[in-house]
Amino acid sequence: MPEYGIPLIFFLIAFFYASVGFGGGSSYLALLSLFLTEFQEIRTLALLLNIIVVGIGTFMFIRNDVFKWKLFWPFILSSMPLSFLGAQLPLSEKIFFLVLGFALLGASFFIFIQLLQRSHSNNPLKANKKLMIGSGIGLLSGISGIGGGIFLSPTLNLTGWKDARTVAALASLFILCNSIAGLGGLIASNTFKLNMALTFPLILAVGLGGALGSFITNKKINTKTIKLFTAILIAYVGFRLVLLHGWGWHI
């Protein structure tokens, strides 16, 4: 692949994921595993790229008055400590990618189910339920090395909690906070490793892609097609990871 091809792919991934309020960490992990051999470098760079994309997205949601802290704080309060702890669990590379692969397959399934729903209600969630959802997904986020919005957003949309833009705003903040906590966990466990040769061009690529994707979301453009594409993408990534690290099959 030409040298410029890698940043271009990351730009496109950041664009599609940011369009639905996600960071793209799952696909970053899968792609980085093709270019980097050091497992911890892959985890560190994927989380850093996540932070860049959703940092832009969170800023855009705040600027467009979609951000609602009084609704969001229980999810964040319970998720960050567990994401921090989950990132420190001593997992082998094989187990890590298997956990990530199965989690992505589950997330893609729920996104497909969400797309089949014809309407969204406005069902309130009590603080204790928000704390439970946040803690469970936060732990999975830390273990899998991604921010967790890809699990949170379909869950909340299926419950009919709030409208899609409010959920996307929460997912963006959720990913940002849990990615920061995950990086903190890597630092605490002395597994933070950064490949400087790839870091700066990829930061630029995902920053541009994330900004464009967040712009689309905040302009209330219908993102149903993009959600479908995202669901197909993460299903493929998850399926590939399970086959590769479970049975050694390449697809």
- Interval 116-158: pLDDT, tens: 766 556 788 899 999 999 999 999 989 888 888 888 988 888 8
Quote the number of domains for the chain.
Answer: 1
For the residues 77-90, what does the mean pLDDT come to?
A: 94
Q: Which pLDDT score is estimated for 128?
A: 93
In a domain, 14, yes or no: yes
What single DSSP character describes residue 68?
-
Domain presence at residue 1: no
User: Residue 1, exposed/middle/buried by CB under 10 A (0-12, 13-18, 19+)?
Assistant: exposed
The predicted model scores a pTM of: 0.88
> What mean pLDDT do residues 65-80 have?
91
Asked if residue 16 belongs to a domain, the reply is yes
Question: How far is Cα 238 from Cα 192, in angstroms, rounded to an integer?
Answer: 24
Q: Is 68 within a domain?
A: yes
For 152-211, write each residue's pLDDT tens digit: 988 888 888 888 788 888 999 999 999 999 999 999 999 899 888 889 999 999 999 999
Instruction: Judge whether residue 2 has pLDDT over 60.
Output: no
Residues 6+ apart with CB under 8 A from 162: 71, 122, 156
87 three-state secondary structure:
coil
Residue 215 lies in a domain: yes
Q: Report yes or no on 243 lying in a domain.
A: yes
The confidence score (pLDDT) of residue 53 equals 94
Quote the pLDDT of residue 251.
66
* Any domain includes 131: yes
Residues spanned by the domain of 30: 8-247
Cβ atoms < 10 Å from Cβ of 184: 18
Determine, yes or no, domain membership for 155.
Answer: yes
Task: For residues 56 and 19, give the distance between their C-alpha atoms in angstroms, rounded to a whole number.
Answer: 12
Cα(155)–Cα(161) distance, rounded to whole angstroms? 9
Given pLDDT bands bounded at 50, 70 and 90, which one contains residue 232?
Answer: confident
